[in-house]
Each structure stands twice: as structure tokens, then as C-alpha cells.
Amino acid sequence: MCLLWPAVTLALAACAARPGARSAVAGDECVPRAPAQLSGVRWDGLAGGWRVTLVATAGPRSGSRSVGTLALQIQDGALLRFGADPNITVPVYGTARLALNEVGAQAMGDLGSASAAAPGVALYVTDNSERGLTATMRFGSGANRRDLMPIEGVYTALFVQRVDSNAVFGIWASSSGEGAGASGHFCVVRAGS
């Protein structure tokens, strides 16, 4: 049975390839990276311009990708903590230009909102003793409202698994709130890198 796994892996990879998809060129690849320890990351160092790539590996657009941009800025010190939990911070927030529908994803609200109270993109870093440090980037002004934390409905979230000097990697998930969803991996590369 162990001999079947390489064949199954090759078959799945062949099925995931989308006819007509553009081939990856230098600097255009987005492949999953091994997770790495997130402790010690300077989260405010993520401020600046980025190129983001979402690759769908599950859902209605499996095999597709969407490439866009992120513009992140350092959060005001008065807004750094999120809610009543002292272990949750929002070190950076900003805007995104990204066609989420290309990978079957959806956002709750405007990706282009630059409001600190309801940004288009926000990075939530949670430090707790049970799970260690986690970082999640949520898309959509409705999902990032400071006055209301939605627990159901539409979402797209990037779960950070690795931060390198000029790149961030991990997995993403999205749902319409009605059970249908999409997921995959992502790469965020500093603009000009």
C-alpha cells in the first residue's frame, strides 16, 4: 500500500493543474513553505507594500490563483490591543487590492477601507500559553470592525505559518457562511523583493 502514495500524489497534482493556467516564472511562484516558530517576529516590521498571492487547493476554484497587493501600516498605540483580551494585538492594518473571487474566496466588507476602526485588512496576533503565538490576517472591513466581532458569516482569513525577512507564508480559508468554502496556501512578498 505504501507504494501507492507516490502515484496518488502525482495523480492529485495532475488533477489540480488548471488548463490554460500561466506557468510560474522567477519571482512568480507561490509554493507552500514549512511552518516556522513565530516568536521573535517584529510584527510592526510588516508595515509597507506587499505582493500577495492566494492559491486555491480546495473549493469551487481549486487550482486557480489570485495576485494582488497589500499596503500595511503600523497600528496607532492606542488601538494596538484588541478587545478585552490582553493577549490579542493588531500591530498592522491596511488595505488590499485582490480579486478574492478568482480563488472562490469572499470578504465581509471593503478590502480598500483605510479606516483604523474598520480596515480592509488587519493582522491579529494572539499570544497564549496553550497554543503559543498565532497570527491571522483577516480581509474585509466588516470582519475587522473594532466595535463588533463577527462570529458567523462571510470571512477570508490568512493563517500565518512562517515569516522570513521579506516574505510571509501560510494557509488561507474562506467561507460564505452557508457551508460553502475555499482554502489553499498563500505567499506575501515585500514589494521590490
The pLDDT of residue 130:
76
Tell whether 14 is covered by a domain. Answer: no
Tell whether 19 is covered by a domain. Answer: no
Nearest CA-CA partner of 143 in 126, 158, 165, 161? 158
Q: Give the tens place of pLDDT for each residue, 164-193.
A: 989 999 999 999 877 679 999 999 999 987
Residue 13 three-state SS? helix
Q: Residue 26: is its pLDDT beyond 90?
A: no
The pLDDT of residue 142:
86
Tell whether 98 is covered by a domain. Answer: yes
Among 21-30, 118-127, 160-169, 180-189, the least confident range: 21-30
CA angle, 179 then 117 then 89, to 5°? 80
Mean of the per-residue pLDDT values of the chain: 82
The pLDDT of residue 63:
96
Asked if 52 and 37 count as a contact pair (C-beta separation under 8 A), the reply is no
Tell whether 110 is covered by a domain. Answer: yes
Q: Give the tens place of pLDDT for each residue, 56-84.
A: 999 999 999 999 999 999 998 877 777 77
Q: Residue 137: is its pLDDT beyond 80?
A: yes
- Residue 34 CA to residue 123 CA, distance in Å, equals 20
Tell whether 163 is covered by a domain. Answer: yes
Tell whether 10 is covered by a domain. Answer: no
The pLDDT of residue 77:
80
Q: Is 133 exposed, middle or buried (0-12, 13-18, 19+ CB in 10 A)?
A: middle
Tell whether 166 is covered by a domain. Answer: yes
- The CATH code of the domain that includes 51 is 2.40.128
Tell whether 177 is covered by a domain. Answer: yes
Query: What share of the chain in percent tops pLDDT 70?
Result: 82
Query: What share of the chain in percent tops pLDDT 90?
Result: 58
The total of structural domains in the chain comes to 1
Instruction: For residue 77, give its domain range.
Output: 43-190
